[in-house]
């Protein structure tokens, strides 16, 4: 695994790179960082060049404005970061792979520069069509953290000690997974990452920066945007926070869509069943 620091869009980005062949950009969600993709990268390295960045504020990438909640981290900012990163790496065309948070970033990238992408693959894909289901009775309690993360003292509370950070992260990694055994071997690395200075706030900044768009979507007042035209495959595990049934409105966002639920896994298919995840990703891009 090669680790690089690349300056793009005013931020020093950390990326991990592995393999050879057609390039794929693998982008993480929350609470994640580049290492979430390592099991899939190891399985695809003989067929593809895998590039896995830490978003700004996450992992070993830069933390603009230090720990300030005002640091920009919304989908438009992160999309601009990733496009600038591809320019800095000299990559003209690439496949996009995302999960959770990064699915929103991918939608911005694909509308801004569709010709640059061979295809889009997403696990568990937030999109505007979810609408009011985010806040329906019975589900709104699952997204309490999205409001909590906007409190100015939230990162200080979660990061008060290694134990408080561990308890917080373990809740999400286990609660959102169907196959929880992967957490046992990964949790310490997750805690190590998020206990580094600025990383908790860096992740929480996503929710601060995207709150207005999130509330507009949940109230049905989101802007109607053109559908993404890049060929897209979405595979969706079933979790408490993002039920796979919510994939029923993906066709409103993606014009060329291959969607199917993934049985037996939850919110982290790439960690819960990396063999299956690699087959799904590799099969899609091999056909591209």
Respond yes or no: is residue 7 known to be catalytic.
no
pLDDT of residue 174: 98
Structure confidence at residue 283 (pLDDT): 97
Write down the catalytic residue from 81, 100, 124, 273. Answer: 100
Catalytic residue among 99, 149, 267, 270: 267
Which letter, b or e, does each residue of 89-121 get, where b requires 16 or more Cβ atoms within 10 Å of its Cβ?
beeeebbbbbbbbbbbbbbbbbeeeeebbbbbb
Query: How many C-beta atoms lie closer than 10 Å to residue 65's C-beta?
Result: 13
- Whose CA is closest to 136, among 235, 212, 220, 236? 220
User: Which stretches of the chain score pLDDT less than 50?
Assistant: none
Sign of CA dihedral 10, 118, 94, 206: positive
Give pLDDT, residue 213: 84
* Centroid of chain to Cα 7: 21
DSSP state of 228: B
State the Cα–Cα distance between residues 105 and 86, nearest whole angstrom.
Answer: 14
Topology, domain 2-286:
Rossmann fold (3.40.50)
pLDDT at residue 64 in the model: 79
pLDDT tens, residue by residue, 1-40: 999 999 999 999 999 999 999 999 999 999 999 999 999 9
Whether 100 is catalytic is yes
Place of tokens 């056909």: 287
User: Angle between the 181-194 and 199-209 helix axes, to the nearest 10 degrees?
Assistant: 100
SS3 for 165? helix
pLDDT of residue 68: 54
Q: Which one from 54, 60, 124, 207 is the annotated catalytic residue?
A: 207
Helices 199-209, 211-218: inter-axial angle, 10-degree rounding = 50
- Biggest alpha carbon distance in the chain? 48
């Amino acid at each position: 695994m090669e680790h690089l620091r690349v300056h793009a869009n005013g931020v020093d980005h950390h990326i991990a790179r592995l393999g050879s062949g057609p390039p794929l950009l693998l982008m993480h969600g929350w609470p994640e960082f580049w290492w979430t993709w390592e099991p899939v990268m190891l399985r695809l390295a003989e067929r593809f060049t895998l590039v896995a960045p830490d978003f700004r504020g996450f992992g070993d990438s830069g933390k603009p404005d230090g720990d300030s909640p005002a640091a920009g981290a919304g989908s438009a900012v992160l999309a601009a970061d990733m496009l600038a990163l591809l320019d800095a790496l000299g990559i003209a065309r690439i496949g996009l792979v995302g999960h959770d948070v990064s699915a929103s970033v991918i939608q911005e990238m694909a509308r801004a520069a569709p010709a640059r992408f061979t295809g889009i693959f997403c696990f568990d894909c937030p999109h505007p069509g979810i609408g009011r289901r985010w806040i329906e009775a019975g589900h709104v309690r699952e997204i309490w953290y999205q409001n909590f993360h906007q409190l100015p003292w939230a990162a200080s509370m979660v990061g008060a000690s290694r134990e408080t950070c561990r308890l917080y992260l373990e809740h999400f990694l286990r609660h959102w997974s169907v196959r929880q055994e992967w957490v046992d071997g990964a949790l310490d690395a997750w805690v190590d990452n998020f206990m580094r200075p600025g990383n908790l706030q860096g992740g929480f900044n996503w929710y601060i920066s995207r709150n207005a768009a999130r509330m507009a979507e949940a109230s049905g007042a989101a802007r109607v945007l053109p559908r993404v035209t890049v060929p897209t495959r979405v595979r969706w595990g079933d979790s408490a926070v993002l039920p796979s049934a919510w994939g029923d409105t993906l066709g409103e966002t993606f014009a060329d869509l291959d969607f199917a639920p993934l049985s037996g896994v939850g919110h982290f298919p790439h960690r819960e069943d990396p063999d299956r995840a690699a087959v799904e990703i590799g099969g899609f891009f091999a056909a591209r």
